[in-house]
Amino acid sequence: MNNTQIINSDVLWIGANDRRINLFENIFPLSNGVSYNSYIIRDKKIAILDTVDNNCGKQFMENIEFALEGKKPDYIIVNHMEPDHCAMLKDLLNKYPSAQVVANDKTIAFISQFFPTLADISYLTVKEGDTLSLGKHTLHFVMAPMVHWPEAMVTYDSYDKILYSADAFGTFGALNGNIFCDEAHFDMGEARRYYSNIVGKYGTQVQALLNKASALDIKTICPLHGPIWRKDLDIIIEKYKKWSTYEPEEKAVMIAYASMYGNTQSVANALAVQLAKNGIKKIVVYDISSTHFSYLVSECFRCSHIVIASPTYNNGIYPPTETFLHDIKALNVQNRTVGLIQNGSWAPVFTKLATEILKSMKDITIMENSVTIKSAIYDKNELENMAFEITKGIK
Ligand code: FEO
């Protein structure tokens, strides 16, 4: 059955929406699935840009058949070789063996790793700045290493000024009929969660891509996931500038606590109340044990101030908190002010051990004021001092 969507008279969306998937990359929870976007440009020559995940292979092949109207594709352009986009490459070539795969050297190496039988086919190898004419449409290839894998590239069509941006500018969530951001509800929180967890580590490489993109006259951005940007492109580009430079999106506080018996939770709540009394409006509180780390990481990219409250455990850090700290370090969270609240009934070490991890990260300012809870008692002055320090930093 045909599920294609029209982008313009030459270009169709031929991707698929996957609402059966619960975990993206088998890690990240999805409440409304994800789209795998693939596109076809129908000019004198026909080019297909990327494919979809195996889960949606049948739908994709039906879309292709409809879009081709009995013709054959001349080119299959592989912008990104991760299996959520390339899984159908072999099937596509089985059905249309005359199509030539257009890819860079690194991509070709990955293709032969994922599909050993495709190692010796005839590729059209492209590198930075190469172009390919389809007729009216001329495609320009721009390398985008580590956005999100080393082989990633983006393709710019100078005829209708579309940037096929691979994983960049994508988001979680299936498409619900409307395919353009200006028609669909665009959930910036989900876009941030996608960005921060998928490419958050690679801010420098994202900035390099943004610099290259700034030299192009882009009217439309077609990502590999989520809706298409054809209006107000600055909205998402400005977000990417902030996220990739690790600039906090907002002056806001995230309190992330872990609590075995509710006492650390009570102090985390007391801090939130004190901050509210101080006039701080943007406060969010999360239980680390029950919140998937991808949401916590996303909030770290948004908020300027982060407070982590945790028990000591086995003379170390309570495991969920330790995982959270390692996650934010792995994803390169930086340029933040972090406060620590520890709980320990006999030998609290959380603040000391967390400080060591935070000091190994870039541009993390550890708050002067910390709070120590002994089982269920704490010094209210310590808490008020921490709240005052945060308030001073935000106001
Ligand atoms: Fe959507 Fe890096 O794959």
What DSSP line would sit under 110-176, residue for residue? HHHHH-GGGTTS-EEE--TT-EEE-SS-EEEEEE-TTSSSTT-EEEEETTTTEEE-TTTT--SB---
- Is the pLDDT score of 59 beyond 90? yes
Ligand 1 centre from 196 Cα, in Å? 13
Residue nearest to atom 1 of ligand 1 (CA): 167
Given this model, what pLDDT does residue 22 score?
Answer: 97
Ligand 1 centre from 350 Cα, in Å? 36
Query: What's the rounded mean pLDDT across residues 177-182?
Result: 96
Render 248-260 in DSSP notation, one character per residue: -SEEEEEEEE--S
Question: What is the position in ligand 1's atom list of the atom closest to the CA of 148?
Answer: 2
Query: Residue 38 — very low, low, confident or very high, per pLDDT cuts 50/70/90?
Result: very high
- Is 250-390 in CATH node 3.40.50.300? no
Give domain limits for the chain. 5-244, 250-390
Give 189-212 pLDDT, tens digit per residue.
999 999 999 999 999 999 999 999
Ligand 1 centre from 86 Cα, in Å? 10
Query: pTM of the prediction?
Result: 0.96
| Average pLDDT for the chain | 97
Helices 350-359 and 319-330, packing angle to 10 deg? 10
Residues with CB under 6 A from ligand 1: 80, 82, 84-85, 148-149, 167, 224-225
Question: What is the position in ligand 1's atom list of the atom closest to the CA of 170?
Answer: 1
The backbone region for 235, taken as left when phi is positive above 0, alpha when psi lies in -120 to 50, beta otherwise, is alpha
Residue nearest to atom 3 of ligand 1 (CA): 82
Ligand 1 centre from 379 Cα, in Å? 48
- The Cα–Cα gap between 115 and 94 comes to 12
Ligand 1 centre from 333 Cα, in Å? 21
Q: Which phi and psi angles does 201 have, rounded to 5°? A: -65, -25
Angle at 365 between CA 250 and CA 190, to 5 degrees: 35
- Is the pLDDT score of 30 beyond 90? yes
- Is the pLDDT score of 64 beyond 90? yes
Give 207-218 pLDDT, tens digit per residue.
999 999 999 999
Ligand 1 centre from 89 Cα, in Å? 15
Question: What is the position in ligand 1's atom list of the atom closest to the CA of 36?
Answer: 1
Ligand 1 centre from 199 Cα, in Å? 9
- Is the pLDDT score of 323 beyond 90? yes
Question: What is the position in ligand 1's atom list of the atom closest to the CA of 224?
Answer: 1
Q: Which phi and psi angles does 382 have, rounded to 5°? A: -60, -45
Question: What is the position in ligand 1's atom list of the atom closest to the CA of 167?
Answer: 1
Ligand 1 centre from 211 Cα, in Å? 21
Given this model, what pLDDT does residue 185 score?
Answer: 87
Residue pair 98/72 in contact (Cβ under 8 Å)? The answer is: yes
Question: What is the position in ligand 1's atom list of the atom closest to the CA of 149?
Answer: 2
Residue pair 248/336 in contact (Cβ under 8 Å)? The answer is: yes
Residues with Cβ within 8 Å of residue 343, at least 6 apart in sequence:
259, 263, 264, 267, 309, 310, 311, 312, 350, 372, 373, 374, 375
The CATH superfamily assigned to 5-244 is Ribonuclease Z/Hydroxyacylglutathione hydrolase-like (3.60.15.10)
- The Cα–Cα gap between 13 and 9 comes to 11
Question: What is the position in ligand 1's atom list of the atom closest to the CA of 225?
Answer: 1
